[in-house]
């Protein structure tokens, strides 16, 4: 384990081997010269080695998306990807912690929970209220007594006018009546009855005891804050796992494309060999057709590998939430990610200690207990104290400002609520039981997930050893096949078969390493809170 360099070799058919046997049989086919065969047989001279690593980008900040979360591309040019940007796994994790939208949402949820806790703690302090008002008032209608007085004054005035001048006409008397009545009404509705009033007050209220609701609400908010922090931790762990998984998948996609490209080259060379042998009279049309079928199958597998590679690139870009014009590639060479030193029992215990989900279930149980207290507080005594100071001034009178103060102690006790409080407490009890059941179920799921990842890791570790031995054996088999071919006791088909077996063995070793890395990342996710989990790197 721990090899970090080249490990995938795709072997081509040797020109020297092909030519040596073909030239020895030229005499049997005089119409095809050795020179023609040498010119048409375009085989590679050496074995090819696949390199999986590239030079990573120097600054990953250039890959970040727009700072506006509501923006989206509106033209094809904005989503047109530019040159590939190779990044390391470490850079991918850095981008994930910075750009992952689920992490950003979880961080906002933590801030919201902090604000909610502040809101609940505000109940520890008294409420201070300031009130003020300005009003104006006056009489709009006359009452019946006033109207009778006005009518009497009018009659008295008319009698006096008739006594002084008996010759007054009805029109003159009517004019006198209107003037007297208007004057009397103005007298009774002048500004002396108006008021321009200012009122102000200052009051303080404090709940001395409210049945335990205040303390339970604060404790519930504290536990909810802790739960959201744990949820942030869970999402970070999941983002790290998804990033590693998608990075390893892209590594596998890159390598598979190179393997299939080499397979196409080998199949192409096999077809050329079959065609040359047919021209020399040493091969048949069936062998040519067989080689063509093999080439078509190799090209089909290459097309599928390229499609899977493109999908893996976009999946990694989506996980890292990079800009729309970024096309990613892997800069790390394919190698085993690390060694798991803990035994299975120790691993299970560490998962039980570290998993945020388990602590969240316990917190939910405690929150349910606090909710029970809040529900029962509705039927418990509530004691509050109050102090109020008020002042009043009427600007229309000649009096000074008047003020007063008031102190109070209030007790409220709801003796019967139709069973609402007890029903709420029962709901909280059921929520607590649900949280306990979920904890037990989650505990069992975590153990199974840890065991599954652990066994897969061990299996893939053994597969690496096995496929490494397989590569060694296939390499030796190809060497012997070439020697037999050069000695005239073997056929070119034997060499091609041995070469195909070697390519397949190296592909199997590649797959075993990728599977090992996936299992290793999965095991880290199942245990969680490992020393290198990167929680301290959260932006």
DSSP state at residue 27: G
pLDDT of residue 53: 57
Residues contacting residue 9 through CB under 8 Å, at least 6 positions apart: 47, 48, 49, 50, 502, 506
Burial class for 402, CB neighbours closer than 10 Å (0-12, 13-18, 19+): exposed
Q: For residue 17, is pLDDT > 70?
A: no
pLDDT of residue 61: 58
Examine the pLDDT at 136 and tell me if it is beyond 70: yes
User: Backbone phi, then psi, for 367, in 5-degree steps?
Assistant: -65, -40
By C-alpha distance, which of 456, 376, 457 is closest to 421?
376
Alpha-carbon distance of 292 to 384, in angstroms, equals 93
Q: What is d(CA 435, CA 448) in angstroms, rounded to the nearest whole number?
A: 20
Give the mean pLDDT of 406-411.
Answer: 92
pLDDT, tens digit, for every residue of 97-107?
888 888 989 99
Query: Mind listing the pLDDT tens digit for each residue in 504-515?
Result: 888 888 889 999
**Residues 440-475: pLDDT tens digits?**
999 999 999 999 999 999 999 999 999 999 999 999
Q: What is the pLDDT of residues 238-248, one digit of tens each?
A: 999 999 999 99
- Residue-level pLDDT at 52: 52
Please give the average per-residue pLDDT across 282-307, as a whole number.
Answer: 89
pLDDT confidence tier of residue 264, bands split at 50, 70 and 90: confident
More confident residue, 294 or 69: 294
Q: What confidence score (pLDDT) does residue 191 get?
A: 45
Q: Sheet containing 382-394: which strands, arranged edge to edge?
A: 127-137, 195-209, 382-394, 402-412
Q: What is the pLDDT of residues 150-184, one digit of tens each?
A: 777 778 887 787 777 777 777 877 888 788 777 77
What percent of the chain clears pLDDT 90, i.e. is strictly above it? 43
pLDDT score of 138: 67
Q: Residue 538: what pLDDT? A: 46
User: To 10 degrees, what angle do helices 89-99 and 285-320 make?
Assistant: 40
The pLDDT score that the predictor gives to residue 514 is 93
Whether residue 367 is predicted with pLDDT greater than 90 in this model: the reply is yes
Is the predicted pLDDT of residue 5 greater than 50, yes or no? no
- What tens digit of pLDDT does each residue of 368-392 get? 999 999 999 999 999 999 999 998 8
Task: State yes or no: pLDDT of 32 exceeds 70.
Answer: no
At 411-438, the pLDDT tens digits run: 999 999 899 999 999 999 999 999 999 9
Confidence of residue 13 (pLDDT cuts 50, 70, 90): very low
How do residues 474-497 score in pLDDT, each as one tens digit? 999 989 988 887 787 877 778 778
pLDDT in the model for residue 442? 94
Residue 188: predicted pLDDT: 60
Instruction: Work out the mean pLDDT of the chain and round it to a whole number.
Output: 80
- State whether residue 257 is helix, strand or coil: helix
Q: In terms of Cα–Cα distance, which of 320, 296, 298, 316 is closest to 308? A: 316
- How many angstroms separate the first and last alpha carbons of the chain? 34
pTM of the full structure: 0.70
Cα separations in angstroms, 332 against 182, 220, 319, 322, 416:
104, 47, 18, 19, 71
Of these ranges, 8-12, 24-28, 353-357, the one predicted with the greatest mean pLDDT is 353-357
The answer to whether the CB of 96 falls within 8 A of the CB of 239 is yes
Of 15, 140, 142, nearest in space to 495 by CA: 15
Contacts of 340 (CB under 8 A, 6+ apart): 347, 454, 457, 520, 523
Q: What pLDDT is recorded for position 433?
A: 95
Beta strand pairing call for 127-137 and 195-209: antiparallel
**Res 28: pLDDT:** 36
Residue 109: its pLDDT value, please? 95
pLDDT at 506: 84
Q: What pLDDT score was predicted for residue 81?
A: 65
* Per-residue model confidence as pLDDT tens digits over 46-76: 344 444 556 666 555 556 554 545 455 555 6
pLDDT value, residue 284: 83
Q: How far apart are CA 414 and CA 19, in angstroms?
A: 104
Nearest to 205 by CA among 381, 383, 385, 382: 385
Radius of gyration of the chain (CA): 46
- Write the pLDDT tens digit of every residue in 119-135: 999 999 999 999 999 88
Is residue 291 within 8 Å of residue 267, measured between CB atoms? Answer: yes
Mean pLDDT of 328-333: 87
- At residue 164, the pLDDT reads 79
On whether the CB atoms of residues 212 and 373 are closer than 8 A, the answer is: yes
Q: Are 330 and 57 in contact (CB under 8 A)?
A: no
Higher pLDDT, 332 or 80: 332
Whether the per-residue pLDDT at 23 is higher than 80: the answer is: no
3-state SS, residue 34? helix
Per-residue pLDDT tens for 305-316?
A: 999 999 999 899
């Amino acid at each position: 384990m721990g090899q970090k360099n080249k490990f995938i070799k795709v072997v081509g058919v040797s020109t020297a081997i092909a030519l040596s046997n073909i030239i020895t049989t030229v005499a049997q086919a005089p119409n095809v010269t050795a020179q023609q065969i040498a010119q048409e047989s375009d085989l590679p001279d050496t074995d090819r080695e696949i390199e999986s690593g590239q030079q990573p980008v120097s600054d990953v900040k250039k890959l970040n998306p727009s700072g506006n979360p509501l923006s989206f591309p509106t033209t094809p040019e904005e989503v047109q990807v530019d040159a590939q940007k190779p990044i390391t796994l470490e850079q991918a994790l850095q981008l994930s912690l910075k750009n992952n939208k689920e992490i950003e949402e979880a961080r906002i949820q933590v801030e919201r929970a902090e604000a909610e806790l502040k809101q609940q703690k505000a109940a520890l302090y008294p409420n201070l209220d300031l009130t003020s008002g300005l009003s104006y008032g006056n009489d709009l209608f006359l009452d019946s007594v006033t109207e009778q007085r006005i009518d009497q004054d009018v009659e008295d005035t008319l009698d006096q006018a008739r006594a002084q001048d008996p010759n007054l006409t009805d029109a003159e008397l009517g004019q006198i009546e209107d003037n007297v009545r208007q004057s009397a009404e103005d007298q009774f509705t002048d500004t002396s009855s108006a008021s321009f009033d200012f009122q102000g007050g200052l009051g303080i209220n404090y709940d001395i005891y409210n049945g335990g609701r205040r303390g339970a609400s604060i404790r519930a908010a504290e536990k909810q804050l802790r739960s959201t922090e744990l949820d942030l931790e869970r999402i970070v762990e999941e983002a790290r796992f998804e990033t590693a998984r998608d990075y390893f998948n892209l590594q596998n996609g890159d390598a598979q494309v190179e393997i299939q490209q080499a397979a196409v080259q080998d199949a192409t060379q096999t077809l050329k060999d079959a065609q040359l042998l047919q021209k020399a009279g040493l091969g048949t049309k069936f062998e040519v057709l067989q080689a063509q079928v093999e080439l078509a199958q190799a090209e089909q597998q290459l097309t599928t590998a390229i499609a899977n590679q493109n999908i893996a690139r976009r999946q990694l870009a989506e996980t890292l939430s990079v800009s729309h014009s970024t096309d990613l590639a892997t800069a790390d060479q394919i190698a085993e990610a690390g060694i798991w030193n803990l035994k299975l029992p120790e691993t299970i215990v560490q998962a039980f200690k570290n998993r945020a989900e388990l602590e969240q279930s316990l917190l939910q149980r405690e929150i349910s207990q606090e909710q029970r207290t809040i529900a029962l507080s509705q039927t418990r005594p509530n004691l509050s104290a109050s102090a109020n100071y008020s002042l009043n001034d009427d600007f229309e009178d000649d009096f000074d400002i008047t003020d007063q103060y008031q102190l109070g102690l209030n007790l409220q006790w709801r003796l019967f609520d139709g069973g609402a409080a007890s029903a709420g407490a029962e709901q909280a009890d059921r929520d607590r039981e649900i949280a306990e059941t979920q904890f037990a179920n989650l505990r069992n799921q975590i153990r199974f997930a840890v065991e599954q990842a652990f066994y897969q890791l061990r299996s893939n570790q053994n597969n690496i050893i096995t496929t490494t031995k397989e590569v060694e054996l296939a390499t030796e088999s190809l060497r012997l096949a070439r020697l037999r071919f050069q000695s005239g006791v073997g056929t070119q088909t034997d060499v091609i078969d041995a070469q195909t077996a070697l390519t397949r063995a190296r592909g199997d070793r590649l797959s075993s390493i990728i599977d090992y890395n996936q299992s290793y990342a999965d095991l880290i996710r199942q245990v969680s809170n490992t020393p290198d989990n990167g929680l301290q790197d959260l932006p």
